[in-house]
Structure 1
Amino acid sequence: MNFLYFLFFYFLATYSLFPGQVETQVKNNLNNPELSLNKNIIIESMAVTWLDSIYGPVKSEGMVNIELTGYIKFKNEKPIYINEFAIVEENLNAAPGALQCSKSVKIIPILNNKLLKKHAPFFKIEGERVVFKIKMEHPLKSNCSGLNTVNFTCQEQNQEIIFHQGKKG
């Protein structure tokens, strides 16, 4: 988990993918009534920072710094708190022989009913919503010379939440 907190501030080119409030798509396969069936994760802002060079990605593997800010909105029920985000899988979405210019990042939130303030400093509770700010860093194939796409997915057990499919161009 330590790599989620690394910050690199030199040779940065930051791209804001969408500044507004965007509600996510939710695929709900949950059968547990104790878990939220009407939960929305709302992204208020998202930024991707490329760490290769100030000129953007080159034809090599690079590092990308991802920052998400948003909140989880609960409807008509007590919230199930999320106390940690972790990248658990990274897949290249490219056909055989094609340029490897896409990377999927799967983020698993760990669920429990304890107060977030004791476990995760990047969360805070504001009324009925849980505010989060996540920063992470991971390698990204960058041999498409500035046309990389980053897909964010979040899974809560059997529930999959699509954050955004953002393109840096």
Structure 2
Amino acid sequence: MINQSPSADESCNLSVKLQYRDVRRFMEQLQWSVDHTATLVRAYAALIKSAPDEDAVIELDRMMLEEKAIFSLLSAMYMELKGVEPQARPESFDSPTYADGLLRAVQLEREAARHCRDTYLLTPSPRVRDLFFYGWTVSMDHSTGLVLMMQ
């Protein structure tokens, strides 16, 4: 079982390492990011199966690979900070139609962008800021691409 809240000593050490005032909140945000990114990977895998043509498959596959890269970076940070691999808890991704799936993926990406933006703004840690800025820009790129695929 993963200890969800760090001890006072761990919090102090993590605060210095991360330059983050509320370590417990950051660890919750990091876990949310791991879970949400796993959900996005699942979403892109489902969309690829129902894509109408090869161009859509190629674009969705690129997006999925980018989400997997972000997942790896988040997992590495989690592992470094907690000493154990994160246990991803992705949401299910079911949609009755391809168009509904695209819309749901846009909503997930927008939620990720807001979360990354907020995490980015709440810490002076260059390492955290770099990771969440990358996630933020990828989410915005994916949102735009998905909307274009809807037309």
TM range (shorter): under 0.3
- TM-score of the aligned structures, taking structure 2 as reference length: 0.27
Whichever structure has more helix as a proportion of its residues is 2
- TM-score of the aligned structures, taking structure 1 as reference length: 0.25
Whichever structure has more strand as a proportion of its residues is 1
